[in-house]
Structure 1
């Protein structure tokens, strides 16, 4: 696999770029007929492009162990797909290298040898220092011979030097002086840096990212209870609460001039409280989405709620209260089943999203001409 990036036009050197943030699809993975397909088996049939997306998702889980994670691209990637930095010095400090391959079969020594050559050449050519770990990442893992050698670093070094001395096809792109320098470096290096990452280990990390449930169609993690609604509106509630006060003021101008007077009103006080509870429920769903599903998933749900209620909001209504009630009723009737968050949402969240939209100046209850 080669994670795409633009090469440095002046030198041809590999260019470090941030690992791309995967994009939310807005809907869960399609259900497959028959018995559930384990995540690992699904990955076997990924295209190289989809494998790249999975790697980007996995990297967000790995990132917590590192200062920074970058992808290394360009015409000569120097044997690095993903570089994980342990210090602020990047490739000049301690780092780990992840080399990802998506082949139909297990990785073999003939697959690994050219990549190992590249990493030693990168050090010889002073592009970076030798990584602390060089990890082969492949859905079907490593074949028995490569696995055995990775488990016996001394034997792996011996085999590497034998292949290097044989001057096979993988060595032909290097001149003799470079190959001798690679040999000297390899002789003095610990081959314990070369490791493999099994797919089940990757899935263990991926399971704790916001992408796992949506990618593999599993249940979303349990949603925590919604906290208590603050007694007084917070500053970030100002816009939608003001629009609600306008609704109540239209109905009872003498008693509903501001949020405080509305809160004391026998009829509209409880109504305002319910709307604020709905807003906080939607806010709790938004925060839950941040940690449980891909970025943008909640915003896609908001967009569909808006598309589903805006015609109702724009229609003629006898009062702002009638408009508010019609929009909240319409929000509960929308078909939002394609959205990943619906399995953990409730009617109160939909109503709260309407108030979020009002807070963002997308909905208004009392029209200027009413």
Structure 2
């Protein structure tokens, strides 16, 4: 790579597929223990796994990026702490997927690459931390050096000064001197490693863990009660509820009057509670399962109730009640979130679908 070459960057998208997480994936996963599973990955999958793990370190980073191809300059995954990218504070995660523990001879060329970044492109800064991540960890020799930053620096400077191995022997004199000068004033405690047990434990906090390793989903936290004041996110489904109430109870013409009505009031409160239950499930899904899993549950439920919605009913309120009953009784099994979904969540999803204008209770509205 030449002096002025640009690094090819792929902005972080949800790593892994766009398909919803299935119940079988979440519950069972691979037959191997997670420590064994990651040893089967190829280098590309290992980088994706590290990318997933790094997204769970938020709010430490405003952006996580994975760098691909031969031009990565020794940065597999970067966690940027500011919008300045490499010009601000950032952390480097270097994945090395070998069938053995990492040794100093493996580490030296990778460490050289990170010093070449600011030497060859002055706008770049050294990372605040640089972590080796390997499924079989560090060998004893490298582990001792990482634990003694002063000795690590001395040994690295020896490599810069006299090593005849690639890529050190390919440095021109000016570059070699610049690397030596920068390394000699750098605190080598920036170099570290992430041990496998910590890596896996932290990966559990991401939406990707269940898809990779199974074991089921964690328990959901308790849902908050709906706020007293109606929020803008509720206006569409509540308007459709009021339309249904008006057909049955002529005096109801607003959310406020529905709340005061002797029959509609309690029903309205239950629907709001169900809606916020479903919103809490949406948040849980965002943090715990693959992207699109919650949307997959919505679509599965929609398919189970749409015939009921489109059937003839006495009025809109009867259509709503029959639909909610069908939603609760529908046999749903494919989606991972079924493990943690309760009847109120299903009723709430119906109101989410109404909010998205996929369902309407009063015909011709």
Task: Evaluate the alpha carbon distance shift between residue 151 and residue 230 of structure 1 in structure 2; reply closer, same or farther with a 3 A threshold.
Answer: closer
Aligned residue number for residue 74 of structure 2: 79
Aligned residue number for residue 276 of structure 2: 280
Gaps of 5+ in 2: none
Question: 1:45-56 to 2 correspondence within 5 Å?
Answer: 45-56=40-51
Mapped to 1, the partners of 2:256 and 2:60 lie a distance apart of 48
Instruction: Classify the secondary structure of the residue corresponding to 1:195.
Output: strand
Mapped to 1, the partners of 2:138 and 2:340 lie a distance apart of 39
Mapped to 1, the partners of 2:184 and 2:29 lie a distance apart of 54
Mapped to 2, the partners of 1:283 and 1:95 lie a distance apart of 34
Aligned residue number for residue 320 of structure 1: 316
Mapped to 1, the partners of 2:37 and 2:249 lie a distance apart of 60
- For residues 31-77 of structure 1, the C-alpha deviation after alignment (integer angstroms, 9 at most, x for no partner) is 5599x744323222233343233222211222322454444456422
Quick check: 2:104–2:142 contact (8 Å CA) kept in 1?
yes
Quick check: 1:12–1:74 contact (8 Å CA) kept in 2?
no
Quick check: 2:95–2:133 contact (8 Å CA) kept in 1?
yes
Instruction: Classify the secondary structure of the residue corresponding to 1:104.
Output: coil
Question: 1:151-166 to 2 correspondence within 5 Å?
Answer: 151-164=147-160, 165-166=162-163
Task: Evaluate the alpha carbon distance shift between residue 289 and residue 163 of structure 1 in structure 2; reply closer, same or farther with a 3 A threshold.
Answer: same
Aligned residue number for residue 97 of structure 2: 102
Instruction: Classify the secondary structure of the residue corresponding to 1:25.
Output: coil
Aligned residue number for residue 20 of structure 1: 13
Instruction: Classify the secondary structure of the residue corresponding to 1:135.
Output: strand
Which structure exhibits the higher relative contact order, with contacts defined as CA atoms closer than 8 Å and separated by 6 or more residues? 2
Task: Evaluate the alpha carbon distance shift between residue 290 and residue 91 of structure 1 in structure 2; reply closer, same or farther with a 3 A threshold.
Answer: same
Residue correspondences, number? 360
Q: 1:112: how far off?
A: 1.5
Question: 1:31-50 to 2 correspondence within 5 Å?
Answer: 31-32=27-28, 37-50=32-45
Q: Return 360-369 or 155-164, whichever deviates more.
A: 155-164
Task: Evaluate the alpha carbon distance shift between residue 110 and residue 324 of structure 1 in structure 2; reply closer, same or farther with a 3 A threshold.
Answer: same
Mapped to 2, the partners of 1:185 and 1:230 lie a distance apart of 57
1:126 aligns with 2:100: no
- For residues 307-335 of structure 1, the C-alpha deviation after alignment (integer angstroms, 9 at most, x for no partner) is 22223222333432332233222212333
Question: 1:173-212 to 2 correspondence within 5 Å?
Answer: 173-212=170-209
Task: Evaluate the alpha carbon distance shift between residue 162 and residue 232 of structure 1 in structure 2; reply closer, same or farther with a 3 A threshold.
Answer: closer
- For residues 219-271 of structure 1, the C-alpha deviation after alignment (integer angstroms, 9 at most, x for no partner) is 43332333333456444322222222322332343x44444444444444333
Quick check: 1:18–1:71 contact (8 Å CA) kept in 2?
yes
Quick check: 1:13–1:74 contact (8 Å CA) kept in 2?
no
TM-score (norm 2): 0.84
Mapped to 1, the partners of 2:22 and 2:182 lie a distance apart of 50
Mapped to 1, the partners of 2:187 and 2:223 lie a distance apart of 53
Instruction: Classify the secondary structure of the residue corresponding to 2:91.
Output: strand
Aligned residue number for residue 3 of structure 1: none
Q: 1:347: how far off?
A: 0.8
Mapped to 2, the partners of 1:218 and 1:33 lie a distance apart of 7
Mapped to 2, the partners of 1:328 and 1:234 lie a distance apart of 23
> Match for 2:164 among 164, 167, 170?
167
